[in-house]
Structure 1
Amino acid sequence: KRGKIMDENLEILNRLFTEEKVDGEYMFHKISAAVMYPKPYQKPRMPILIGGYVDKVLQRAATVGDGWLTYFYRPEDFKKSWAKMRNFAEEGGKDPDTLLNASQLPIMVGDSKAAVQDEMMDWLNKEWDFPAYSDCTRESAIMGNVDECVAQLQEQIDAGVQKIIFVPYKYRPDQVEVIAKEIIPRLKAL
């Protein structure tokens, strides 16, 4: 049922983004003269990335959405699921090269991977969820000095990740700053 509700929500959202006024009777919603302003700047609307792990969600992201939002995937697991997404798009008559993706990755920059690993794993174990039915894992964590982190992030990019959403260790300002001043410029230069 959740999947059907999601499909319906996506259809309604798409209509709200692209139509002046929306009316409709759906299985789970009844809409009368609904409007949404301001309309998206992007035309016909901004991309819709769908997050999730199971094949049904990946299929929805590939065919109904514009792509996939991942959460704590290692490069090899991302590559496997991204290949599924591309196949689902092809099967659904959609050009897989139009799909977008973004990957949320935990990151901690310090003196070395060994120096930050225990602290990072403790934070991930206490404050984050890693569903057993998914490939998301604490082992996806980007850790180490700037060079080590850039190398690990390059592996993600090489696996097909298009956009990286950094999840800095405990959202500490010093971590945000080093990512902004040292990691991102290095990635842009690659």
Structure 2
Amino acid sequence: MVKSDWVKVQGFAREAGRDPGAMGRVYSNFVWVLEPGEKPESAIPRFAVYSGMDLDYWRTYYLLGEAEEVAERISARIAALDGGVDTIVLNPLDWGQEQLELIAHEVLPRVRH
């Protein structure tokens, strides 16, 4: 998904006379980090409010899982973009302390970039 999107953006930039290599790149996605052993279904009430999408959609396109799994998915999507990204923006479904700490201390340190 991300790589094909970037290919399109590069094409649009070239058509507009811009150098795609000079553009900053941001990876942004919705995220919900599960506690170890927590079932993905527990997040349904949270993401249904924001996106209206079902669990399968979330598993495919957004970031839902335990910290290690979420970090691996972010790393894979960044790796798909030759040259990586300049910035990562994660949009948690809940801006409470617990989610922010999971992202800051358990997810981001594991992301390869």
Larger Rg: 1
> Which residue number in structure 2 is paired with residue 143 of structure 1?
64
Equivalent residue of 1:174, what SS? Answer: helix
Equivalent residue of 1:93, what SS? Answer: coil
Q: Deviations over 1:25-81 (max 9, x none)?
A: xxxxxxxxxxxxxxxxxxxxxxxxxxxxxxxxxxxxxxxxxxxxxxxxxxx2x2222
Partner AA of 2:23 in structure 1: L
Unaligned runs of 5+ in 2: none
Off by >3 Å, runs of 4+ in structure 1: none
Matched, 1:111 2:36: yes
Cα separation, partners in 2 of 1:82 and 1:171, compared to 1, 3 Å: same
> Which residue number in structure 2 is paired with residue 126 of structure 1?
49
Q: How many residues align structurally? A: 105
Compare the two structures and name the one with the higher helix fraction: 2
Equivalent residue of 1:89, what SS? Answer: helix
> What TM-score comes out, normalization by structure 1 length?
0.48
Higher relative contact order (CA 8 A, sep 6+): 2
Task: Give the Cα separation in 1 of the matches to 2:93 and 2:80.
Answer: 23
1:97 to 21, 24, 41: 21
Contact 1:103-1:164 at 8 Å conserved across structures: yes
Identity of aligned residues (%): 22
> What TM-score comes out, normalization by structure 2 length?
0.75
Provide the alpha-carbon RMSD of the alignment: 2.3
